[in-house]
């Protein structure tokens, strides 16, 4: 079901040139966040707008608000718990008022060193992707939603992807977990793109 809806909504578009770039993560993650920015992922509000009839527009996880792209990835209580975990790991405060689009674009006044900014952006993208993936597992396969498991998954996946794409020394796993933003241990190649 999820796959069918997904295919239906993305088949008409996706020109790779239009994706925003961060070469620390696989291209599919870049395409995914580009779809978020363009509101091109299949959540109920979007399906409804496209005339696909659904029983209710309540979020299937929190049963609370209308489920929009922003709600699913960012403002749903379940998603917020994950974001809080990620910000805590990075030792960053919750910035009220920062939008999902700003997060995806890497805006965070508190992360100012360019190479760390790119790593932070990569982590944000991986978080979006894994919240979405776990959300679908919950909705379509009734898997349990475990915040700490998702936060760990973000740490593992982002470490693996960034490490594989960094030409120079990257953090050790231990350092990554205790201090992901330490400029002394992170030395990622800064080629543009
Ligand atoms: Zn919700």
130 Cα: distance to centroid of ligand 1 (angstroms)? 15
74 Cα: distance to centroid of ligand 1 (angstroms)? 9
* Distances, alpha carbon 173 to alpha carbons 104, 124, 125, in Å: 24, 18, 19
User: pLDDT class for 192, splitting at 50, 70, 90?
Assistant: very low
53 Cα: distance to centroid of ligand 1 (angstroms)? 19
CA atoms within 13 A on the CB side of 109: 6
Distance (Å, rounded) from C-alpha 81 to C-alpha 78? 5
Q: Would you state the pLDDT for residue 44?
A: 63
73 Cα: distance to centroid of ligand 1 (angstroms)? 9
Q: Would you state the pLDDT for residue 70?
A: 86
> Could you give the percent of the chain with pLDDT greater than 90?
33
43 Cα: distance to centroid of ligand 1 (angstroms)? 11
64 Cα: distance to centroid of ligand 1 (angstroms)? 6
pLDDT surpasses 50 at 159: yes
Q: Would you state the pLDDT for residue 27?
A: 92
pLDDT surpasses 90 at 155: yes
Q: Which residue has better confidence, 191 or 107? A: 107
Distance (Å, rounded) from C-alpha 146 to C-alpha 120? 23
Q: Which residue has better confidence, 134 or 8? A: 134
60 Cα: distance to centroid of ligand 1 (angstroms)? 7
Q: Would you state the pLDDT for residue 16?
A: 45
For residue 117, the tally of other CB atoms under 10 A from its CB is 15
Would you say the C-alpha torsion 42, 47, 53, 54 has a positive or negative sign?
Answer: positive
Q: Would you state the pLDDT for residue 148?
A: 96
Nearest to 154 by CA among 88, 93, 75: 88
pLDDT surpasses 70 at 140: yes
* Mean pLDDT in residue range 172-183: 85
Q: Would you state the pLDDT for residue 62?
A: 86
* Mean pLDDT in residue range 163-182: 84
38-55 residue pLDDT tens: 877 766 666 666 665 555
Q: Would you state the pLDDT for residue 17?
A: 46
75 Cα: distance to centroid of ligand 1 (angstroms)? 7
67-126 residue pLDDT tens: 678 888 998 999 999 999 999 999 988 777 888 998 898 876 677 788 888 899 999 999
Q: Would you state the pLDDT for residue 182?
A: 77
37 Cα: distance to centroid of ligand 1 (angstroms)? 19
181 Cα: distance to centroid of ligand 1 (angstroms)? 30
């Amino acid at each position: 079901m999820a796959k069918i809806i997904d295919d239906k909504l993305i088949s008409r578009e996706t020109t790779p040139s239009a994706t925003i770039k961060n070469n620390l993560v696989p291209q599919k993650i870049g395409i995914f966040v580009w779809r978020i920015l363009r509101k091109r992922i299949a959540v109920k509000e979007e399906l409804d707008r496209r005339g696909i009839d659904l029983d209710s527009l309540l979020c299937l996880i929190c049963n609370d608000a209308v489920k929009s792209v922003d709600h699913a990835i960012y403002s749903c209580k379940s998603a917020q718990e994950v974001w809080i975990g990620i910000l805590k790991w990075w030792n960053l405060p919750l910035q009220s008022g920062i939008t999902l689009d700003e997060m995806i674009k890497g805006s965070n006044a508190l992360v100012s060193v360019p190479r760390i900014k790119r790593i932070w952006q990569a982590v944000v993208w991986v978080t979006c992707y894994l919240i979405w993936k776990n959300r679908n597992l919950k909705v379509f396969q009734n898997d349990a939603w475990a915040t700490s498991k998702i936060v760990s998954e973000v740490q593992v996946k982002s470490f693996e992807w960034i490490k594989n794409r960094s030409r120079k020394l990257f953090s050790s796993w231990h350092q990554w977990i205790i201090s992901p933003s330490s400029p002394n241990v992170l030395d990622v190649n800064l080629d543009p793109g």
